[in-house]
Amino acid sequence: MMAAMRRLPVVVVLGATGTGKSKLAIELGQKFNGEIISADSMQIYEGLNIITNKVTSAEQLQCRHHLIGYVNPFTNTSNTVVNFRDKALPIIERVFAEGRLPIIVGGTNYYIESLLWKFLVDPQVHDKGPDAKKLRMSDSCPVTHESERPLPPGGGTSAPGHPATIDVSSTGSDAAPVADASFEGEAALEDTGEATLDRGKVAQECCKTAASDRGADREGKFKDIDSSELHRQLTLVDPVTAKKIHPHNRRKIIRALEVYSQHGVPLSDILKSQHASAGGTDALSGPVRYDKTCIFWIQCDQTVLDARLDARVDTMMEHGLLQELHDFHREYRQKMQGDCDYTLGIFQSIGFKEFHNYLLLPEPESDTVKGRQLRDEGVELLKLATRQYAKRQIKWIRNRFLKRPGPGVVPVYGVDSTDVSLWADNVLKPACDILSAILQGENPAVLPLEAGGALTEHVYNVCDVCAGRVFTTLQEWNAHTNSRRHKRALSKQRKQLRKAAVLHSDEA
Ligand SMILES: [Zn+2]
C-alpha cells in the first residue's frame, strides 16, 4: 500500500478568488478519484455561506470536501495556520492511504504553503536549555490566525507579508516564540504584499494574555537600547541573519536576538540545520513535504477578473448577503449580551467590515436615506476590497510559489480561465493532461510556469552618499543606486568634492 500511495501526487489548485478554483478541483476530484481539502481561512467557519463564497452542498456531494465549516465563529476566534495544518495533514495521509488523490484548493495561500513545505519552527522543543544545540526543528510553530483581511486603501501596516506571531500554544511553558513567519523563508523576508493586518490584530485581540505576557516583556528587555545598537549586537552573534534585517526593523532584530539569547544558537543556524536535515542547501525556504506535487494556477486576465468579481458581489447581494450579515451580528450580540468586540478576526474579514457601519445601525434606520447610503457604500467598498484581495493573492502566488528558492521549488502549471466559455479547452483539458502524465510518471507535455523574476538576493549595502542608508537586498540596492534621489545626492557630493579640491589647490 505504501508504494501505491507514494505514486500519487498531492494536487493543488491555486488562483485568485473568482478564477474557478473550486470548479476545477471538483472536476479533477470526480475524474481522478480525489477528495478535496479546502485551504480557506474563512470557509473553515460554520454558516456565513454567502460571504465566504462557500461551495454549495450540491457541489460537496459531487466530491468529498474536508475542512469546510468546522469552526464555530462565535466561540473559536483564534484559529491558526497551525491548527489548520494539524487537521489537514492527517486527512491527506488518510486519503493517500485509501488510494485516493488529495486535492488541496483554496484562496489562503499561506495555508497551502504550510502543507507543502515544512518551514515552521517548533518552540516547544527548545525548553531543554542544555540541549539547545540539539534543536529539533520541526514545523509546528504557532502562527496566528490568518483570515486574509485586505488592507484599508492606501495600506495601513508597516509590514505586509509578515504574519505577526504571538506564541499562543506553548501551553504555559516559558518557551518564547522561537521564530515567526518572518523567518520562515526567504520570501517571508520580502514584502509579498499579502494582507496580514488581521493576523496581528487577531493575535492582539484573542490572545491578550499572550500578548501582554510576551510582547511587553520582549521590548522591556531591549527598550533602552536603540535599534542600530541592537543590530550591531545581532551582527556579532548572528551575522547571517543581521545581514538580512534592516537596522531600523526593530521587531525582527529583537526576535533574532531573543532566539540567540534563549537557545544559544543563531537563528540562521537553526534554519540551516532544518534544511540540511532534509537534504536542502542554504535556501531559507523549507523542504517540501511530499515527493510528488502537481500544482495548477488558474490565471485570468485582470480586467476580466475585476468585472467578474464586481458581478459576484452583486450576486451575493441578490442572494441575501445583508441578511446573512445581519443575522450573524444579531446572534453575536445576543451571545455576547452587549459585550461585543468587533475587532475580532471574523469582523475584520472582507465583507464584514465594509458593511460594519450599516450593520450597526438600529434596525428601523436601515431603510432610511442614511441606511441606504451606508449600504451602497458597503457594496462599493466590498467590490474594491475583493479586487484588491485578488491582486494580493496573485502577487503571493508569484512570490511564494513561483519564486521559491532552493530545493523546495515545485513546478506550477498555468491554465487560463479568462474566457469561461472555453473552460473545457483552456482549463479542464490541459489540467487533466498534465495530471495524467504525472500519475503515469511521465513529464507533462507542457512546461511549468517560469518564475518571471529574479530571486531576492540578500546583500548588505550602505550608501555613504545618502547619509548611510542601508539596503538588505540586491534589488533594493540596485533600485536605489539608479534612483533620482541617489543620483542627485551623488552629483551634489561630487560638486562639493571638486570645490574642496579647487580650494585645496588654491591654498597650495
Ligand atoms: Zn544613495
Q: Which of 36-40, 245-249, 260-264 has the highest mean pLDDT?
A: 36-40
Would you say residue 370 has pLDDT above 70?
A: yes
Q: Which residue has the higher pLDDT, 328 or 165?
A: 328
CA distances from 477 to 226, 250, 470, 487, 492 (A): 24, 20, 9, 13, 20
Q: Are residues 384 and 403 in the same domain?
A: yes
Kindly give the distance from the C-alpha atom of residue 495 to the centroid of ligand 1, in angstroms, as a whole number. 15
Would residue 446 count as lying in a domain? no
Please report whether residue 445 resides in a domain.
no
- pLDDT recorded at residue 87: 94
Q: Coil, strand, or helix at residue 425?
A: helix
Q: Give the number of domains in the chain.
A: 3
Q: Note whether 297 and 190 are same-domain residues.
A: no
pLDDT at 154: 30
Q: Is 156 exposed, middle or buried (0-12, 13-18, 19+ CB in 10 A)?
A: exposed
Answer yes or no: do 262 and 324 share one domain: no
For residue 239, is pLDDT > 80?
A: yes
Are residues 297 and 244 part of one domain? no
Report the percentage of the chain scoring pLDDT > 70: 72
Q: At which of 277, 304, 338 does a domain end?
A: 277
Are residues 390 and 474 located together in one domain of the fold? no
Strand partners, 38: 105
The answer as to whether 448 is a domain residue is: no
Q: Please, which residues have CB less than 5 A from ligand 1, an ion?
A: 463, 465-466, 486
Q: Are residues 23 and 45 in the same domain?
A: yes
* 213 assigned to some structural domain: yes
Q: How far apart are CA 250 and CA 229, in angstroms?
A: 10
Lowest mean pLDDT, pick from 13-22, 103-112, 168-177, 347-356: 168-177
pLDDT at 134: 32
> How far does residue 473's CA lie from ligand 1's centre (Å)?
14
Q: Are residues 346 and 421 in the same domain?
A: yes
Same domain assignment for residues 262 and 331: no
- How much distance in Å is there from the Cα of 254 to the middle of ligand 1? 27
Q: Do 65 and 185 reside in the same domain of the chain? A: no
Residue 70 vs residues 14, 84, 314, 435, 476: alpha-carbon distances, Å: 22, 11, 27, 30, 43
Assess contact for 222 and 183: CB atoms under 8 A.
no
Give the range among 211-220, 336-345, 376-385 with minimum mean pLDDT. 211-220
State the residue range of the domain holding 88: 2-113+290-439
**The three three-digit cell numbers of residue 305, written as one number:** 477578473
Separation of CA 460 and ligand 1 centre (Å): 14
* Residue 483 alpha carbon to ligand 1 centre in Å: 8
Tell me how far the alpha carbon of residue 480 lies from the centroid of ligand 1, in angstroms: 6
Helix then strand then coil, in percent of the chain rounded to 5, is: 55, 10, 40
Please report whether residue 283 resides in a domain: no
Side chain identity at residue 309, one-letter code = L
Q: Is 327 left (phi over 0), alpha (psi -120 to 50) or beta?
A: alpha
